[in-house]
Amino acid sequence: MTPQQIVALAVRVFAIWLLVISVQMIGIALTLSGQFRSDNVFALFAVPALPVFLAVFLWKFPSFVAGKLLPRTTHPDELRMPPRADTAAASAIIGLWVVVAVLPQAFAVAAMAIYSRRTDLFDLFFTPDRVVTSVALAVQVVLGIFLLARPWLIARWIFPLPRGAGGAPDAAPPASGTVADE
């Protein structure tokens, strides 16, 4: 991979991270929209829409962004890094980060749901706002576990296999070292 390709890969991984963060922001916007009784509530959803639009732009044009961040070189300075393996590793790292960041909150909500099920505390704790927050937490946990469990799926999504190429679904790419073979 060339340095520009590495930066383009990082741009796409950052786009995935932006989508994960936007899930949390949508949960916050839903919670706040229930508290405000105004016609301007739609403005709350503009905030989570910004990272979504930025993620779509970064996903569609990673080479453009990489070219702006890192100037093109004239000499061949290709690094021997298999792009699918790097993408799978980055996906797993983001998944681990999401799960580690969200699990303490998710465990606290689950413990409250289990231990306060037959008391008045259940109704006091699980207000509509907390239900929305709990759903956002659950979505983040599922997304983080998916990124951890299926990093090669994300890698093949970013770097599709050439037509006619077979192989095991989660097998690492051949270690030839050239980008053309990837």
Q: How many domains does the chain have?
A: 1
How far is residue 4 CA from its own chain's centroid? 22
Q: Are 147 and 98 in contact (CB under 8 A)?
A: yes
**pLDDT at 168 (0 to 100):** 46
Quick one: pLDDT at residue 72? 67
- Low-confidence residues of the chain: pLDDT under 70: 1, 36-40, 70-81, 164-182
Looking at the domain assignment, is residue 164 inside a domain?
no
H helix runs in 76-182, sequence order: 83-115, 120-125, 128-149, 151-158
Q: Is residue 85 part of a domain?
A: yes
Within a domain: 52: yes
173 inside domain:
no
Expressed as residue numbers, the domain containing 7 is 3-158
| 8 Å CB contact between 19 and 35 | no
Q: Tell me, yes or no, whether 176 lies in a domain.
A: no
Decide if 82 contacts 6 (C-beta within 8 A). Answer: no
CA 57/CA 83 separation, integer angstroms: 21
- Residue 177, pLDDT score: 43
Instruction: Look at residue 33 and tell me if it is in a domain.
Output: yes
Q: Specify if 8 maps to a domain.
A: yes
Please tell me the predicted confidence (pLDDT) of residue 38: 67
Domain assignment present for residue 11? The answer is: yes
Q: DSSP assignment, residue 172?
A: P
Token pair of 147 as six digits: 């990124």
* Integer Cα distance of 66 and 128 in angstroms: 43
For the whole model, what pTM was predicted? 0.53
